[in-house]
Amino acid sequence: MKIFIRLWKHYLYDTKLVHKFFFLLILLLLIEIIVSNFYIRYNAAELLTKEVRTTSRQFIEQYVDNIGYKLSKFNTLLNSLSSNETIKQAFSEGAATDESCQEVDAAIRQILNNQFPYGLYDLTFYPLNKSIHGKSIFIRSLAEDTGSWKERLMDRYFDHYFMHTEGAYKTDLLSILKPVYSPDGTEITCVIKLSLFPEKVFKAMKGVDGEHSHQLFIIDTRGNYIYGQTFAGIDEYLSFVQKNYGIIYNGYPVSDFSDADGIYLTSTNSASGFRAVYYFAYANSLESIDTLNRTLTIGILILVCITLTAGILLSASVNKRFAIILDKIKTVSGGNLKIEDSHLGGDEIGIFDASFTQMVGQVSQLIENNYVIEMKKKDAEFMALQAQINPHFLFNSLEIINSLIEVERYDTACEVNSRLSLLLRYSINHNSSGIVTLAEEISYMNNYVYIQSIRFGNKFTFHSDIDEACLECQIIKLVFQPFIENSISHGFSGIPSGGNIWFSVKDHGTEVLISISDDGNGMEEADYRKLSALLEKDDFDDFQDQNESIGILNIHYRLKLKFGPLYRIRITTAAGQGMKTELVIPKYGGKRYEAIDC
């Protein structure tokens, strides 16, 4: 016991750090060999089941989504056919004559030309209460059809896909029945039968790895086999589903079913009425796990040998470089912060040495950077005020008031004067943080829009759509006006008839989407690329060099300073196609101020 304690103390206190590391690494590798072999050998079935559930389920979910996507196109086609006024009117009046049949055929062809369904086998219209005295490609008498699908018609099995056989060759088809109502909606005048080739809808029926040990097939909401691969054992699974689930509703989960040789996985979604079932067999995968186990063991043993060799060769070099770093630490602890880089390489030791040497310089640089950012932030806020209320705007507003008084429109003049006073008060009286509610900023914007509408008359029409749930959310001041001013001054320049400006605020969960758009001139491609490049920069530029983009860049950088990565901007424009700006801000606050409740 004393010998063991002595060896342990020697290892902890007297053994070099490099040797401790390599001894510990070798011990961990040996333990890994033992544990991995034991775990893989005795938990292979559990590991395999977990892997199947995480990899194969994604496949069957995507597969069923693909089926649903294909069937949705056919549903769209049926809705177009059943709601067509020409078709509804033709089947609600008297007997089907040549003229009415031709009208129906023409309407159907037009719809098929626009929405031709890939994989269509047959499309037939069966009048229920009228005789047919004309020739038609699509209209057929119900009495002349002897197909088994008529049982579904008797049960009023509408708007649901089902499998059946048809024709002399007993062709398997996937069909759906769609009723056509009279124009007043009081009765069913016709039934549409649309039949599809199931292999076109249920495409890619092979197993994930292409082997026969894994099968995929389709069931309906009652657990009946519809289409796919058949194999021994499938009846046992179908009995399990039908016994435990009367009807499998959309989104209702079906439990995984295991037998001695494998596991059945069933998809979750069933918007189309069908679910995919994937059978995964254990045999081949268990053999792969044994091979992996052996390979892993051999690889770890080889790694142990390489580690021992590398440890001996690197030990001397590592010890020498550690000694240099220790000398530097002693120098710094004595109060001397002026140390030079020793160029100890590019590995962790060299990086540590370089980082330690540059620490004081980095702290100084960090302080300087923070100071510059804060100064630019103050400059941005100052220039925002300058951009919002400038002498030209004040002069024009006063001219408007003077003109209104001259034509004796005293009420309007008073309203303009009142709103101009509110604009000035809002711009001057701002808190230190520059944070206001959306309601306050929108009120400011509406006052600005009112004054501009009085000035420019019919040059623009302003539309707003605001989600009141967002009005108490917070934003920085003086954000929206530059976009409105840009639309009026540049977007509608040279357009005699003026244009429209749309403003909207939408609640997107944890985010607020603010959209400002117009149908004016838009931006030229070169100007748009230049603006996009400036918006993508991480640092600030001098606003004086940006000309007409100063307002957009000012807003962008101020929002970026306040909200950080939670803020995003997206501008869409083209010459002659207007301009749309979307601002996304966090609903509950950003990185530079406390969270708020909206």
Domain boundaries, the chain: 2-42+286-333, 45-64+205-281, 84-201, 370-388+430-586
Instruction: Specify whether the CB–CB gap between 188 and 180 falls below 8 A.
Output: yes
- Average pLDDT of the residues in 221-232: 85
**pLDDT band (50, 70, 90) for residue 141:** confident
- How does pLDDT run across 397-441, given as a tens digit for each residue? 888 888 888 888 889 889 988 988 888 888 777 555 678 999 999
> 218, 217, 266: which is closest to 244 by C-alpha?
266
Task: Say whether pLDDT at 365 is over 60.
Answer: no
65: pLDDT strictly greater than 80: yes
Distance CA 325, CA 339 (A): 11
Q: Which residues contact 265 (CB under 8 A, 6 or more apart)?
A: 52, 53, 56, 57, 60, 256, 277, 278, 279, 280
Name the region of 137 (left: φ>0; alpha: ψ -120 to 50; beta: rest): alpha
* Residue 593: closest CA among 565, 562, 555: 562
Tokens at 15, concatenated: 């053994």
Q: Quickly state the pLDDT bin for 514 (edges 50, 70, 90).
A: very high
Backbone angles phi, psi at 473, to 5 degrees: -70, 160
List the single range of 102-106, 161-165, 550-554 with lowest mean pLDDT: 550-554
Residue 498 pLDDT exceeds 70? yes
Under the banding of pLDDT at 50, 70 and 90, the label for residue 489 is confident
Q: Which of 580, 437, 568 is nearest to 502 (CA)?
A: 580
Q: What is the pLDDT of residues 244-275, one digit of tens each?
A: 988 888 888 888 888 877 888 898 877 788 89
Over residues 228-246, mean pLDDT: 87
Q: What does the block give as tokens for 202?
A: 């249920």
Q: Is the pLDDT of residue 595 over 60?
A: no
pLDDT tens-place string over residues 450-469 = 988 888 887 899 999 999 99
Average pLDDT over residues 61-74: 87
Evaluate whether the domain defined by 370-388+430-586 bears CATH number 3.40.50.720: no
Whether the model pTM is above 0.75: no
Question: How many whole angstroms separate alpha carbon 29 and alpha carbon 303?
Answer: 8
Q: State the pLDDT confidence band at 13, using cuts at 50, 70 and 90.
A: low
pLDDT at 317 over 90: no
Angle between helices 438-456 and 410-428 (to 10 degrees): 140
Give the pLDDT score at 207. Answer: 45
For 348-360, the DSSP string reads HHHHHHHHHHTHH
Better-scored residue on pLDDT, 153 or 505: 505
CA distances in angstroms from 536 to 378, 483, 572, listed in the order given = 21, 19, 15
Q: Which is higher by pLDDT, 23 or 573?
A: 573
- Residues making up the chain, counted from first to last: 598
Lowest mean pLDDT among 180-184, 363-367, 399-403: 363-367
- 10 Å CB burial of residue 195 (0-12, 13-18, 19+) is buried
**pLDDT range class, residue 504, cuts 50, 70, 90:** very high
CATH 1.20.120 holds for 45-64+205-281: no
Q: What is the pLDDT of residues 155-174, one digit of tens each?
A: 888 988 898 888 777 888 99
DSSP state at residue 96: B
* Secondary structure in 3-state letters for 456-487: HHHHEEEEEEECHHHCCCEEECCCCHHHHHHH
DSSP string covering 390-420: -HHHHHHHHHHHHHHHHTT-HHHHHHHHHHH
- The span from the CA of 170 to the CA of 591, in Å, is 68
440: left (phi over 0), alpha (psi -120 to 50) or beta: alpha
For domain 84-201, the question of CATH label 3.40.50.2000 is answered with no
The conformation of residue 142, written as its DSSP 8-state character, comes to: G
Q: How far apart are CA 24 and CA 9, in angstroms?
A: 15
Count of other CB atoms within 10 angstroms of residue 6: 10
Write down the pLDDT at residue 181. 92
Per-residue confidence (pLDDT) for residue 136, from 0 to 100: 85
Same CATH topology for 45-64+205-281 and 84-201: the answer is yes
